[in-house]
Each structure stands twice: as structure tokens, then as C-alpha cells.
Amino acid sequence: MDPAYARMRAEQPLLRIKMAYGQEGWLALRHDDVRTVLSDPRFSRAATLEADLPRAEPDLPNTPEMAANITNLDQPEHGRLRGLIASAFTARRIERLRPFVDETAQRLVTEMLVAGSPADLVKAVCEPLPVAVICELMGVPPAGRSIFRAGIEAVVSNATVAAEARVAAVQAIITYMAELIDERRRDPGGPRDDLLGALVAARDADGSRLSEAELNMLGVTLLVAGHETTLNMIGNMVVTLLTDRSRWDYLLADPDRIPAAVEEMLRVIPSGPYSGLARVALEDVELTGGTVRAGEAVLVSAEAANRDPEVYDDPETLRLDREPANILSFGYGSHRCVGAVLARMQMQIALRALITRVPKLDLAGEVEWRTSTLIRGPEAVLVTW
Ligand code: HEM
């Protein structure tokens, strides 16, 4: 993370910002302020649809689907959709996925070993694992994976991809999701004990609880949010461990240290230039260092908040045994990440498979970083063993 963030958090914790596109706004940097912005109902997600937000890419035109997206709803609509996800996305359903995640990670590592050294770890493990997992959870058939994977690359892209291409990509995923939903309706008794089937059943049992657009967007959002962040984070973590071999060796000595190490890496590794989605103040709100006026936009930096010295000792140092509490990498408040448990499971299992099966894994040359997406992660990680 740029050291300027630490200086700003101390000197100007509510930072006036102007980005490549949109009006000026604010960036909250302190842990307590970030929590306030993410959880106080005076900060609205729905109001962002009408606002000219500070952002890194050209805006997409508003569509009815966007207004129905769980990430863009305020209470009480948001609570209604969250409740439905909670009833379909149960801890049991996620735990049932554990053997699949484990077997997939093992298979991918085996395939990488068989193909031989060197390999690109992103293509071999980081990307295929979360894609396979979210498709298994949602019930996306293997043939559909490339359709939605290509679309998602464009959805999370930044200004280097034309706005029309991004709109077309979103539309392609929405159309594909409608086909998957139709399939479940045509074959309601089929062997479809997947999350999408559960959501379709919830919609059809009581249409007043979930509109068709909400159902479709919920599927799309889960598919998109469900793997892009995870695949980048697995790559970021492997690079973090291999750039200082003592970290890798520390986990190799006792792989049961991996869950704590994952938490600490989530705390320290930035996932993008800013995390979480912007909010718009519905009334004037005091934060440390200033007042956000009604109608103004605020972004949060979970990265800066995760290194707030008022919350963490020696915050700039990565200490793999730290077991940090209250990290904001999965957000906070009512919109906090639905998939945090699943994401943690995948990161832990991927690292365990690599560390225990390929203990001599090493970086071969410079890591190539992505420049075309809003999420930070390696484009390619060439490794040898
Ligand atoms: C390392 C992996 C992940 C990270 C870092 C991450 C991060 C986040 C963050 C920061 C938010 C809150 C955004 C905000 O309030 O502005 C969020 C929301 C969300 N995440 Fe994740 N996520 C990850 C994995 C996943 C997975 C695996 C799934 C689904 C299977 C998922 C589904 C969602 C959904 C649906 C929301 C929107 C929740 C709402 O608006 O109520 N995420 N995620």
C-alpha cells in the first residue's frame, strides 16, 4: 500500500478526492469511520445510482437490473433479499462444498505437476478453483463457464475497456442467467440442489418476496462477486509468501498455521485501489476530520483502515501469527460479504494444497500484475519447483 495512505489517515482521515471520472467526493481512511460509512443507514447505496460518483472508469447507464441488485439496495428492500440469500446460502450448504473444494484443489495441483515445471500458477490453480467452486454452488454447467468468465473479465475491467463492451458483457451474463433460471423452472423436480435452484424456489413460492429482476441479478452478482476477488486473493497470497521464503517455510513447518496467516494476509494485502462500493450521504454526517454533506459521495479504504494503528499494533508489519480481529476486507454492516466463509475456505484449502504438495514451489521471474481490472492481483505467476 502506498505510504501516503498512512500519512493521510493521520493528517486528513476524511480525504477530499477527485478521480478520473465523476464529481469530487470523500475517502474515509480510519477504521471507525469506514465502519460508520458501511453500516450507518444515513449512508445510502441506492442513492449512488443517481449520483455522479468519483470513479476510475466511465459510468454505465442505469438499468432496471442495476436498481434491483442487492448491492444497490437500502433497507428494508436490502434486508428482504439478504434474508433470502441467508436461507439459501446456509453454513451447511457451504460446508457441504468442502470436499469438492478440496478435491478440485488437489486435482488442479496434480495437473500442474503432471504438466511440469515451470507453470503459470494463475492459470493452473488461482483462477480455475474459484470458478469451479462458484459454478458448483450455483449449478452452472461446465459448458457455461467460458460464457460467464469472459463476461466477468469485462465487468470488473477499468477504463481500458470501452463502456459499450462492458455493457454488452453485463447483458450477456444477465441473458445467460435467465436461461439457467428457465432451465430450473422447466425441470423443477430435477437433481438441482444448487443455490440457484433454491433461489428460484424462493421466488416462485412467494413472488412478492423476490422480483424476477432481483432473482436474475442475485444470480449474476453471486457469480461475479463469488470468484473474481477470491482468485486474485489466492494469487496475491502465494506471491506474498514466496517473495519472502521464511513466510512459506513458516507455514510449511506447520500447515495448521494457514487459517491465521490467511486472516493476516487479508488484513495487509490491498485488494484494489479502494474497496467496497461508494455510498451517498442522505443527511450531513460528522466523521473524524470533517462533515460529509447530504448528497455527497464517500468511498472507503479498507486497506488503510486495516492498518489503522489505533486498532492494530505495528500495523504495517505482516505477522502471520497475529490473528487480527475486525478486519474490514469483507466489508462491514448489512452489505458485508455474503461469501466470506466460502472465500476463506477456498483460500485456506488452495494454500494448504500448494504448500503440502509442492513444498519447493518458487517464483520464476517477475510477477506480471493486472492492469485492466479494478481488483488487484497477478495476471500471471510463473513458478518452478
Ligand atoms: C477474497 C474474496 C472476497 C472478498 C475480498 C470480498 C469482499 C467483499 C466486500 C468488501 C463486500 C462489501 C461491499 C460493500 O459493502 O461495499 C462484499 C460483498 C459481497 N460479496 Fe464478497 N468478497 C469475496 C468473496 C465472495 C464470494 C466467494 C462470494 C459469493 C459466493 C461473495 C459475494 C458477495 C455478495 C453477494 C456481496 C454483496 C452483499 C450485499 O450487498 O449485501 N463474495 N464482498
Could you count the other beta carbons within 10 Å of the beta carbon of residue 33? 28
Q: Give pLDDT, residue 196.
A: 87
Q: Give pLDDT, residue 190.
A: 56
- Residue 375: pLDDT over 90: no
Query: For the purposes of burial, counting CB atoms within 10 Å of the CB of 87, is it exposed (0-12), middle (13-18) or buried (19 or more)?
Result: exposed
Gap between the Cα atoms of 155 and 153, Å rounded = 6
Confidence of residue 93 (pLDDT cuts 50, 70, 90): confident
Going from the Cα of 106 to the center of ligand 1, the distance in angstroms, rounded, reads 25
Going from the Cα of 362 to the center of ligand 1, the distance in angstroms, rounded, reads 30
Confidence of residue 321 (pLDDT cuts 50, 70, 90): very high
Going from the Cα of 339 to the center of ligand 1, the distance in angstroms, rounded, reads 6
- Residue 310: pLDDT over 60: yes
pLDDT digits (tens, 9 = 90+) for 198-226: 888 878 777 777 788 888 888 888 888 87
Angle (CA) 285 291 294, round 5°: 55
Q: Give pLDDT, residue 192.
A: 63
| Residues 277 and 45 sit within 8 Å (Cβ to Cβ) | yes
pLDDT digits (tens, 9 = 90+) for 94-149: 999 999 999 999 999 999 999 999 999 999 999 999 989 998 988 888 878 777 77
pLDDT digits (tens, 9 = 90+) for 338-359: 999 999 999 999 999 999 999 9
Give the number of the atom of ligand 1 that is nearest the alpha carbon of residue 227. Answer: 27
Going from the Cα of 274 to the center of ligand 1, the distance in angstroms, rounded, reads 14
pLDDT digits (tens, 9 = 90+) for 158-200: 556 677 777 787 788 888 889 898 888 887 665 467 888 888 8
Q: Give pLDDT, residue 140.
A: 87
Q: Give pLDDT, residue 188.
A: 62
Ligand 1 pocket check for 222: Cβ under 6 Å:
yes
pLDDT digits (tens, 9 = 90+) for 241-297: 999 999 999 999 999 999 999 999 999 999 876 656 899 999 999 999 899 999 999
Q: Give pLDDT, residue 233.
A: 96
Residues in the chain: 385
pLDDT digits (tens, 9 = 90+) for 58-80: 777 677 777 888 999 999 999 98
Q: How far apart are the first and last CA of the chain?
A: 29
